[in-house]
Amino acid sequence: MVCSLNPNLVLIGFMGTGKTTVGRRCARFLGFRFVDTDARIVRRVGTSIPEIFAREGEGVFREMEARAVREVAGYVHVVIATGGGVVLNPENVRLLRASGILIWLKVAPEEILRRCRDRSTRPLLADADDPLERIRAMLNQRTPFYEAAADTSVDATGLTHEMTTRLVLEAYRTHAAQWRGTREECEESS
Ligand code: S3P
Ligand 1, atom 4, lies closest to the CA of: 83
Binned at pLDDT 50, 70 and 90, residue 2 comes out as very low
Q: What ranges in the chain are assigned the alpha helix state H? A: 19-30, 37-45, 49-56, 58-72, 90-99, 109-115, 123-126, 131-149, 161-189
Report yes or no: 183 and 97 within 8 Å, Cβ to Cβ. Answer: no
Query: 121: which DSSP letter?
Result: G
Ligand 1, atom 5, lies closest to the CA of: 83
**Does 54 score more than 80 pLDDT?**
yes
Query: For ligand 1, what atom is nearest to the CA of residue 88?
Result: 11
Query: For ligand 1, what atom is nearest to the CA of residue 123?
Result: 10
For residue 73, report the phi and psi dihedrals to the nearest 5 degrees.
-65, -20
**Does 3 score more than 70 pLDDT?**
no
**Does 12 score more than 60 pLDDT?**
yes
Mutate to test the pocket of ligand 1, among 122, 141, 146 (most ligand atoms within 8 A of CB): 122
- Higher pLDDT: 122 or 188? It is 122
Structure confidence at residue 120 (pLDDT): 85
Query: Average model confidence (pLDDT) for the chain?
Result: 93
Structure confidence at residue 186 (pLDDT): 53
Residues with Cβ within 6 A of ligand 1?
A: 15, 19, 38, 49, 83-85, 122-124
**Does 103 score more than 90 pLDDT?**
yes
* Opening angle at CA 19, ends 36 and 170, nearest 5: 115
Query: For ligand 1, what atom is nearest to the CA of residue 17?
Result: 14
- Mapped onto helix, strand or coil, the DSSP state of residue 100 is strand
For residue 181, report the phi and psi dihedrals to the nearest 5 degrees.
-55, -45
Give 85 Cα–ligand 1 centroid separation in angstroms. Answer: 6
Binned at pLDDT 50, 70 and 90, residue 161 comes out as very high
- Distance from C-alpha of 112 to C-alpha of 148, rounded to nearest angstrom: 21
